[in-house]
Amino acid sequence: MRSPRPYAPQSGPGTPSLTERRKAATQIDIARAACELFAEHGPDGTTAEDIAHRAGVALRTFYRYFRNKQEAVAPLLAGGGDAWRALLAEEDPGTPLTEALERAVTRALSDSQAVEEGLEVTRGLLRAAATDEALRAVWYRVNQESEERLVPVVARLAGPGADPIGVRLLAAAATDAIRVALELWSAGDAPVSGGPSSPAALAVRCLRELTGAMPLLR
């Protein structure tokens, strides 16, 4: 199984240095190797040495970036959140928040081969996480970090007069909507796109049910 390479930023003001980009690329290579091996042998049948060998790096390089084998998949799990926050950030301030959130979620979870491949990787990891506590902890941590990074994006769209508590609650609800949708979808065999059980459709449904009564969206 090959997972898609993440978006590679173009050079320009504020972009990472060459050294930082190389480090990020190494982390992604290790994460990809971990996902492949977990899919082939499961977390219990995979060691850090196996992952380092598959990624073509020394074991000490593996431990330079990750504390254990489960942590190695975090960059790929985090990639989906990075993509959807970037899409939401493209929305203009003043756009109705419900419209902006649903559009960004739908775009992030559909409409490209790379997204579909990434979702299949996520499905495999979430299924493995059901019986692997350490992998499940990585998933929850990635979602917590995504929620924290979502707060300023929501605040910008909501405007300077928005209630800070409402902004935090909306960021939490939006993050949980996607998390729950992906967990539900991963537990079954529904296709990546199309129908009410696709990740995008489930995420929009969860988003509506979790945020429908929030004053910030009225």
Rounded average pLDDT over 133-155: 97
How large is the angle between the packed helices 113-129 and 18-41, nearest 10 degrees? 60
**Helix and strand totals (H; E) in the chain:** 9, 0
**Is the pLDDT reported for residue 10 higher than 80?**
no
pLDDT at position 18, please? 82
**DSSP H helical ranges for 159-198:** 164-186
50 pLDDT band (50/70/90 cuts)? very high
Could you tell me the two tokens for 14? 């504020």
pLDDT, greater one: 10 or 205: 205
User: Cβ of 44: how many Cβ atoms within 10 Å?
Assistant: 10
* pLDDT tens for each residue of 58-104: 999 999 999 999 999 999 999 999 999 999 999 999 899 999 999 99
* pLDDT tens for each residue of 179-209: 999 999 999 999 998 899 999 999 999 999 9
* pLDDT tens for each residue of 27-36: 999 999 999 9
**Is the pLDDT reported for residue 7 higher than 80?**
no
* Stated pTM of the model: 0.87
Average model confidence (pLDDT) across the chain: 90
**Is the pLDDT reported for residue 9 higher than 80?**
no
3 pLDDT band (50/70/90 cuts)? very low
Report the distance separating Cα 30 and Cα 115, nearest Å. Answer: 20
**Is the pLDDT reported for residue 6 higher than 80?**
no
